[in-house]
Structure 1
Amino acid sequence: MGLKPPAPAALGVLLVLALLALAHLLPPPDRSPHPLPASSPPGSRQEGAAPLSRGRAHGKRLPVPPTHLRRGQPHGRGRRRRRGVAGDIPPWLSDDDLQKMRLLAEGQVVSKTRVPAHGQVLRVGLRAVGDPERDASPASPEGDCQDGRCGLIKRPGDLYEVLAFHLDRVLGLNRSLPAVARRFTSRLLPYSYTDGSLRPIIWWEPDLRHLEDANNDQNSCALGWLQYQEMLRPHGLTPAARDAPCSSIPHGEWSRLALFDFLLQVHDRLDRYCCGFQPDPSEPCMEEMLHEKCRNPSELVLVHILVRRSAPSRLVFIDNAGRPQHPEEKLNFRLLQGIASFPAAAVATLRSGRLRNLLLESLRVDRELWESQGGGEGLGPFLRTIEKRASILLRYIQERNLTVFEEPPR
């Protein structure tokens, strides 16, 4: 007997099986990614691929700085942004900055010492929360400070030191010491320090080099105004300038200092005698009769010129509160005298039109300062002052055809 031909239903089943087998043998179709429409539902692939800066927030979020001001940091989908109590941490605040700021803001006060010739300044030892040595070892003021666990508590009127620290970091100068605003409750401190007033606390740098002269211990080297101007000469150092105590400090350091001091109108370093403007009778330079020495430049000296023992060619900026209320018509241009070029990154930030927003982003990291000053609105007068001085400085650079220099790689 011959085989019967298959039924039509059986042929259909065989055809389906053959097509399925063929589909497994063929390569998969092209699945290159395409942007999903804006109306994609929650949980779609678009949400999963969103930039990290648009992820879920824990509290208020800081504005993201423009990519051209991130100072070479990676951006895009692979960028990892650090987070803090107020939102994303700006890239100009380093991990070391944040560690020191956290110690200053949260560390337990374990000791206190007076600073000679600074009646309203206390140096305090700090132990971080969770530090195993906090309870295991007794407080040692000198030992704690040598280990980098100390801070200087200053007067409430010196809060602008905290603003100056953030300006320093936003401009990429990185020469000032970390500072935060804080209210103190420790029983080790006098009542005037625990009455609820907000005070700045500045990280104590154990590596600063001080002169042995008790009357001039706020300098790393003794430098007169005429020597300083000689060192700034553009055509190389004269024999006298090469022998100056601060001759190892390059021109770029003085340029950073001059730019910083002009924006803040800090006179104490480069012009403690107020020779560059007509001071009010209440100015310390008038009360101490220093202004009269302006007639004899050979008697003028620079103060607070400090370097680290480990980095003698790099300045450290201290006492940066400046004069936010200094009137525009009395701006001290003597602070810029002899400076022929300025750091390119700082000048670019001043020209960007973003200085106010970048400062606001940075200042919001210091929650105590931000809330006590009324946020961005309360800080507005200070920011407008800095913006105005920045505009004047840029005009000064342009009118004199001064140059800029690139920062060396770090």
Structure 2
Amino acid sequence: MHSKTTDTFRKDSNKCPTFKPKNVPGGDDRRIRASADRREVPWFSEDDIQKMKLLAGGESVTKARVPGHGQVLQVALEMPDQKQTQQKKAPDTPTSSHTDHCHRGRCSLVKRTDDWFEVFAFHLDRVLGLNRALPAVLRSFHSEILPYRYTRGGPRPVVWWDPDIQHLEDSNNDQNSVPLSYVQYEKTLKARCGIKTGLNEEPCVGVRHSEWSRLALFDFLLQVNDRLDRYCCGFRPDPSDVCVENLFQARCGNTKDLLLVHILVRKADPSRLVFIDNAGRPLQPLDNLNFRLLQGIDQFPERAISVLQSGCLESLLLRSLYADGEFWDVRGGAGALRALIRTVEQRGQILLQHIRDRQLPLYTDL
């Protein structure tokens, strides 16, 4: 790993790939518009594309409620051609249970219509090269096995359910892989885990130091607070905000009372974070950005910063978002999405200034 400052990168929008929908293979009749070689969207892996196709085109076969999350429905999906093939090969075979589908990675979380920004977040994650968010698409449902409000309430964000994510056994804290207070988090940042201190030595929790900067960058661009700042201590929330209704802000005066949430890792790779619940705040004004998310972060990922500095974020995101046909159409196409992207670009410029002012280094993972 080596570091450098942001001065290395120069804005050169003339080299940005031009977005032209007609140049993207697949036409407008496919839900996921990407060629087999992914030439137009190289930031997606083949696995990403396959999961996006499952989320966008899979038929609902079973469903289950998610305990403690009344607004979210877990739905198992199966591609029509796979379902027909299995029925022909073994018509008398018992139907797989919902749990079996989920363990095989064939499940999704269907969220509220208002959470559509989570789909945008997935594309931003891949374009920036962070690769920590779970695949997500926007889609409509028509299956009779789903509750009426899921089939008549408009398109919803659908996120792949990862069976390998590690959850705490505590039912009141199952949205974390490790219990982490804000005070412990600050100690973890100072310890530079995996660099200066062993990943499993105190105060480290097994997560690499570089992971927190990826998370902070991502959350700042999207203005996600329900992770590093669930109590809304770093900005002025709306009166209708959950943290206001639950009187969370009253705890901001005592750092020891503050806890982190949605700090998740995979069992197979516990040193890397997984980003979930990324809907954030698309309309957060620039004079009310949450800089608390950046506190204690002493370095940033080189690749993501180079994209922000290149001036190409708009063209790259338009190419990426076009791959999700329903999201593209429902969110108003290039015209409406440009305005949204420019909001994120402005936040990116503010982040770059923050890095320059503090002369923070960039890192490249080997």
Contact 1:125 1:139 in 2 (8 A): no
Change (3 A) 1:212 1:334: same
Higher gyration radius (CA): 1
2-structure distance, mates of 1:209, 1:144: 18
Root-mean-square deviation (CA), in Å? 2.2
SS across alignment from 2:190: coil
Aligned length: 331
Secondary structure of 1:167's match? helix
Question: What does residue range 243-282 of structure 1 map to in structure 2 within 5 Å?
Answer: 243-244=202-203, 247-282=205-240
- Selected match of 1:170 from 119, 124, 127: 127
Shift of 1:152: 0.5
* Residue 241 of structure 2, aligned match among 283, 295, 298: 283
**How is 1:57-136 mapped onto 2 (pairs within 5 angstroms)?**
60-62=22-24, 83=35, 89-131=40-82, 132-133=85-86, 136=90
| AA matched with 1:293 | R
The one-letter code of the counterpart of 2:205 is S
Q: How many angstroms does 1:234 deviate by? A: 6.0
2:174 is the counterpart of 1:182? no
Structure 2 residues not aligned, in runs of 5+: 1-16, 26-33
Kept in 1: contact 2:63–2:75 (CA 8 A): yes
1:241-282 deviation line (CA, Å, top 9, x unaligned): 9334x5210111000000000000000000001111222221
Answering whether residue 117 of structure 2 is matched by residue 160 of structure 1, we say yes
In the alignment, residue 323 of structure 1 is paired with which amino acid?
Answer: R
> Mind listing any 5+ residue stretches in structure 1 that lack a counterpart?
1-52, 64-81
The verdict on how the C-alpha distance between 1:134 and 1:406 changes in structure 2, with shifts beyond 3 A counting, is: farther
Does 2:345 align with 1:387?
Answer: yes
| Regions of 4+ moved over 2 Å | 132-137, 234-239, 241-244
Aligned match of 2:289? 331
Structure 1 CA distance for aligned equivalents of residues 362 and 191 of structure 2: 14
CA deviation digits over 1:4-33, x for unaligned, max 9? Answer: xxxxxxxxxxxxxxxxxxxxxxxxxxxxxx
Bigger RCO (CA 8 Å, 6+ sep): 2
Q: Provide the C-alpha distance between the structure 1 equivalents of 2:87 and 2:152, rounded to a whole number of angstroms.
A: 25
Q: So what's the TM-score if we normalise by structure 2? A: 0.86
Structure 1 match to 2:7 = none
Could you tell me how far 1:89 is from its partner in structure 2?
3.8
Alpha-carbon displacement from aligned partner over 1:16-57 (angstroms, at most 9, x marks no partner)? xxxxxxxxxxxxxxxxxxxxxxxxxxxxxxxxxxxxx9xxx9
Shift of 1:156: 0.6
Residue 111 to residue 276, structure 1, CA distance change in 2 (3 Å): same
Structure 2 residue identity aligned to 1:91: P
Counterpart of 1:233 in structure 2 is: 190
* Shift, 1:238, TM fit: 7.7
Instruction: Give the Å deviation of 1:380.
Output: 2.2
Conservation of the 8 A alpha-carbon contact between 2:191 and 2:197: no
% identical equivalent positions: 54
Residue in 2 that maps onto 1:19? none
Task: Provide the C-alpha distance between the structure 1 equivalents of 2:39 and 2:24, rounded to a whole number of angstroms.
Answer: 6
Give the CA deviation at 1:196.
Answer: 5.6
Distance 1:143 1:130 in 2: 19
Letter aligned with residue 266 of structure 1:
V
Retained in 2: the 8 A contact 1:224–1:298?
Answer: yes
How far off is 1:134 after superposition? 6.0
- Secondary structure of the 1:151 match is strand
Q: Return the alpha-carbon distance in structure 2 between the equivalents of residues 375 and 220 of structure 1.
A: 37
> TM-score of the superposition, structure 1-length normalised?
0.77
For residue 133 of structure 1, what is the amino acid of its counterpart? Q
Corresponding position of 1:75? none
SS in 2 for 1:248: coil
Aligned residue for 2:23, secondary structure, equals: coil
Specify the alignment match of 1:319 in structure 2.
277
Confirm or deny that 1:360 pairs with 2:318.
Answer: yes
Equivalent residue for 1:142?
99
Q: Is the 8 A contact 2:266 2:274 kept in 1?
A: yes
| Alignment partners' CA distance in 1, 2:67 and 2:87 | 27
Q: CA deviation at 1:62?
A: 3.7
- Separation in 1, partners of 2:52, 2:186: 36
The Cα shift of 1:191 comes to 1.0
